[in-house]
Amino acid sequence: MTAGYNTISLGTGRKEFNPKKARPGIEHYIKEAGQGVLKQIKGGADSVDESVLGNFMAARFNKQANLPGFFPMIDKGLEYKPATSVEGACGSGGLSLMSGIRSVLAETADVVLSMGVEVQNTVKAIYGADILAGAGWYQDRKKGHAYFFPGQFSDRAGAYFDKYDRAKARKGMAQWYANAIENARLDPTAQEHHNTHPDPYGLSLKSEPNGKIFVDNLNFMDCSKVSDGASGIIIASEEGLQKIGIDKKNAVEIIGFAQTTRNITEQPTDRTELTAIKKAVHNALADAGIKIEDVGTAEVHDCFSIAGIMAVEALGLAKPGEGCDYVAAGNTKRDGVMPINTTGGLIGWGHPTGATGVHQAVTIWQQLTNKAGDAQIKMTENRPYGLSINMGGDDVTVSCVVYKRG
């Protein structure tokens, strides 16, 4: 993978966001991200063999379907070339990556433009919650919380509190939020880039969850925000890299990947464990032939802080119930043992649902090729790998990719 590009993740928190004023539509984000990628490669659109776009709910948020038809709008050189769109809720971006990787491995393409997009600040929050509930089993909608997914992960947090230790878990969740804000401040495209609160840790820890105004076990800082944005990256064979004029040192090698799916019609058997993520990580690391201790940085799907804590445990970095301690000790900070979500993750950078998986890949590419700017972390020679986890729904559609520095 190479030539990554992110638009701004636009929503509350960005100075330029005003819900009462007209904002860019989905076509704007697709065009900006696509052109941002194409400008980095020799031959531009003429060098691209096929394209794929991850998106969740444009048909409802934007009343727009048939998204492959937008690729020729990016550049006339993409007209009459194969293009597809893929959907797996918040995991749609990861499915875009999976599709591109498989096309290259199948030798049907040498250069694939992989993208993800979502524009969801088009409806009021309560209506958006109903649209987003489609990422879960919709027949549970009437039994669920008005804000369906915060309710789902509030239930996970409550189960975690009951099984382990609420006070310790809340400290870990507050540290997760603080890390997200501190990292987002270093990336000018992040939704929380303008956040200047002097004590994000204290803000989250002191904000007790209140089910009368939101959900029982999460506060507002525990949640990712509603975001508009797009990301894009090139997936290429070695021959494709030569065609687009990219040196291997400016690319990352995909050395392992995995995809898992959990039954959407069933509730998790254990709400304290992300089983689909755990299985995907195990399979991807086995495919790559490495251990988690070899990984130097990871991007995980922290739609909620409790999901980040559980992802740490699914990665095998901490035992069940000890992920909160691992995070609270500073191990996932940008200078910690395992820097996670170095540009803010979903809570800090933003969560334009269909774009998230591609944004994660762009972040890993940036870090492993020293292109992360102020957000750059120090990678060590003995841990040259990156890893990303993209999750759709409540641990339902999951993809995991392992990357190596070129």
CA distance 207 to 178: 13
pLDDT at 144: 83
Is the Cβ–Cβ distance between 195 and 180 less than 8 Å? no
Both structure tokens of 389: 């986890």
The β-bridge partners of 233 are 114
pLDDT at 81: 98
Domain ranges of the chain: 2-123+227-250, 143-207+251-405
Mapping DSSP onto H, E and C, the string for the chain reads CEEEEECCCECCCCCCCCCCCCCCCHHHHHHHHHHHHHCCCCCHHHHCCEEEEECCCHHHHCCCCCHHHHHHHHCHHHCCCCEEEECECECHHHHHHHHHHHHHHCCCCCEEEEEEEEECCCCCHHHHHHHHHHHCCHHHCCCCCCCHHHHHHHHHHHHHHHHCCHHHHHHHHHHHHHHHHHHHCCCCCCCCCCCCCCCHHHHHHHCCCCCCCCCCCCCHHHECCCCEEEEEEEEECHHHHHHCCCCHHHCEEEEEEEEEECCCCCCCCCCCCCHHHHHHHHHHHHHHCCCHHHEEEEECCCCEHHHHHHHHHHCCCCCCCCHHHHHHCCCCCCCCCCCECCCCHHHHCCCCHHHHHHHHHHHHHHHHCCCCHHHCCCCCCCCCEEEEEEEECCCCEEEEEEEEEC
CA distance 293 to 384: 11
pLDDT at 356: 98
pLDDT at 159: 98
Q: What is the pLDDT along the chain (406 residues), one digit of tens a residue?
A: 999 999 999 999 999 999 999 999 999 999 999 999 999 999 999 999 999 999 999 999 999 999 999 999 999 999 999 999 999 999 999 999 999 999 999 999 999 999 999 999 999 988 999 999 999 999 999 888 888 999 999 999 999 999 999 999 999 999 999 999 999 999 999 999 999 999 999 999 999 999 999 999 999 999 999 999 999 999 999 999 999 999 999 999 999 999 999 999 999 999 999 999 999 999 999 999 999 999 999 999 999 999 999 999 999 999 999 999 999 999 999 999 999 999 999 999 999 999 999 999 999 999 999 999 999 999 999 999 999 999 999 999 999 999 998 7
Domain at 2-123+227-250: CATH code? 3.40.47.10
Give the number of residues written for the chain: 406
pLDDT at 194: 98
pLDDT at 406: 78
The predicted model scores a pTM of 0.98
pLDDT at 331: 98
Both structure tokens of 163: 């099984």
pLDDT at 258: 98
- The domain 143-207+251-405 is placed in CATH, from the list 3.30.70.980, 3.40.47.10, 3.40.710.10, 3.40.50.300, at 3.40.47.10
